[in-house]
Structure 1
Amino acid sequence: MFYYFDPIYLIFAIPAFLISIFAQIKVQAAFSKYSKMKSFSGMTGAEVAKSILWANGIYDVKVEYVPGLLTDHYDPRFKVLRLSSGVFDSNSIAAIGVAAHEAGHAIQHYERYPWLSLRSAMVPVVNIGSNLAFPLILIGLLFRNGDIFINLGILLFSLAVLFTLITLPVEVNASKRAIQALKLAGVVMPSEEEGVKKVLKAAAMTYVAAVAVAILQLLYYLSLVQRRRDD
């Protein structure tokens, strides 16, 4: 059964696809809506990020432009906060929310936030494991005595699932830090705060979706193993 398309795969793939699409639609809709609303402060995303960093005593983190849509991220390896074209030089409510969120990650790094430290430590293993997991499972399924490969593949992919779970508290905490920092700095008016929160909540949905997709994929792998044992 492993040499042709497995119809059971659709049971897991279709929900995963729908969850991912829903999350992407939500974040793009929220970002698009609040990108058209200029903030009262007039500060750009880059200015907001620098202001938050400096207010927290962080002076060694660079704020740089990165091409693409919603490609914003903080790189702890090089202490660089990268903001996309729709955020770096924009003074919209969406832009300052995203910029503040990424600054929140830099603050986590500076303060050695444990969940961020754990996630960073897992990155090398997860990058290798997520690529090797399915080939190992497939090899194990093709050979009669391949249980060791199957178990190793499932273990490696389980680490990838754990990584997505650990990412959730990191992202939620960064958003909380962002809201607090914006309020303390007086960057957002009370009427603008709701928009910032909606953008950040929509962005958080993508991480929830990633967890759901990873779990569904793991369940599919487990179903392959169970069907092999039943044969």
Structure 2
Amino acid sequence: MMLWLIFGIFFILCLIVGSRLKSKFREYSAIPTANGMSGAEVARKMLYDHGCYDVNIMSVQGTLPDHYNPQTKTVNLSQDVYYGTNVAAAAVAAHETCHAVQHANAYAWSGLPSALVPLQNISATILNKIFIGMFFGSFLLGSLFSMQTAPLIIVACYGVFTLFAFITLPVEFDASSRALAWIQRTGITDYYSPHSKAEKALRLAASTYVIAALSSLATLLYYLFALLGHSDE
């Protein structure tokens, strides 16, 4: 029951922040950039300003699927961001492009999330098998893992998720900080394209990572305390 309460609380928080984030992005999408640059042009200028000439900028489908892929060296922007000539598009494009700049400059934290992705995927697969086994009963679970081992594996897997979530935070905060400083310095946001709007947009986006990290930590602590409590019996 406690686990469902934890999930419920953070699920509601995610919905609230997500709804507010979408609302603000719609609002800020009506504010044009000072120089009329699109998200793609913002990304390209930032890459050139930082000497990153081997990174491609791609337009992808979806709502806010924006990300940087270090394996393919591509900054992937949603169509609204790629073609948008507004403060919201500029802020998102600059933030995602900053991940490419971090990668190019060998920023200390930037490589860690990518390095943990394979381990995170393995952990997710193992957890799925455990929870499926628990759903169908201890007999099926016992064929996968022993009843003594399963709780330890669950804690270990959530430990990986929590580590990934918290390591991601300084990378995202650094990217936002760099992006905001750069778009202000280059005049992409000014008195008529309020810099504070871009700052609020990225701050809201960052809050989703904070909630995800705290949710992962709360779940880890729940299973850890459950494991310790079970071992004391």
Using the size of structure 2 for normalisation, the TM-score is: 0.88
Partner residue, 2:11: 17
Q: CA deviation at 1:32?
A: 1.2
Question: What does residue 165 of structure 1 align with?
Answer: 166
State the distance in 1 between where 2:204 and 2:115 align.
27
Partner of 2:115: 121
Q: Deviations over 1:185-222 (max 9, x none)?
A: 22221452101101100100110111122123223433
Aligned position for 2:199: 197
Instruction: Give the match for residue 21 of structure 2.
Output: 27
Among residues 209, 220, 223, which one is paired with 1:221 in the alignment? 223
Further displaced range: 190-199 or 135-144: 135-144
Number of aligned residues: 225
For 1:58 and 1:21, the matched residues in 2 are separated by: 36
**Structure-2 separation of matches of 1:57 and 1:132:** 42
Counterparts of 1:70 and 1:138, CA distance in 2: 31
Structure 1 position 182, deviation (Å): 1.1
Question: CA separation in 1, counterparts of 2:222 and 2:131?
Answer: 11
The offset of 1:183, in angstroms, is 2.2
1:180 aligns with 2:174: no
> Structure 1, unaligned stretches of length 5 or more?
1-6
TM-superposed deviation, 1:184: 2.5
- Report if the CA contact (8 A) 1:136-1:150 is conserved: no
- Correspondence 1:57 to 2:51: yes
Q: Specify every segment of 5 or more residues in structure 2 that has no aligned partner in the other structure, as ranges.
A: none
Task: Tell whether the 8 Å contact from 1:72 to 1:82 is kept in structure 2 after alignment.
Answer: yes
> Is the Cα contact below 8 Å between 1:139 and 1:149 reproduced in 2?
no
Shift of 1:161: 0.7
Contact 1:137 1:154 in 2 (8 A): no
Asked whether the 8 Å contact 1:20–1:213 carries over to 2, the reply is no
Separation of aligned partners in 1, 2:146 and 2:69: 43
User: Which SS does the other structure have where 1:98 is aligned?
Assistant: helix
1:206 partner letter: T
Distance 2:124 2:210 in 1: 18
Identity %: 33
Q: What is the match of residue 3 of structure 1? A: none
Alpha-carbon contact 1:108-1:116 (below 8 Å) kept: yes
When the two structures are superposed, what TM-score results if normalisation uses the length of structure 1? 0.89
Of residues 79, 82, 100, the one that matches 1:88 is 82
Contact 2:180–2:199 (Cα < 8 Å) also in 1: yes
Among 24, 42, 48, which residue is 2:36 paired with?
42
Asked if 1 retains the 8 angstrom alpha-carbon contact of 2:3 and 2:219, the reply is no
Alignment-derived partner of residue 213 in structure 2: 211
CA contact (8 A) 1:138 1:150 kept: no
d(CA) in 2 for partners of 1:172, 1:43: 24
* Partner secondary structure for residue 110 of structure 2: helix
Report the Cα distance in structure 1 between the residues aligned to 2:109 and 2:92, rounded to whole angstroms.
Answer: 20
- Higher mean alpha-carbon deviation, 220-229 vs 54-63, is at 220-229
Structure 1 residue 153 displacement after superposition? 2.5
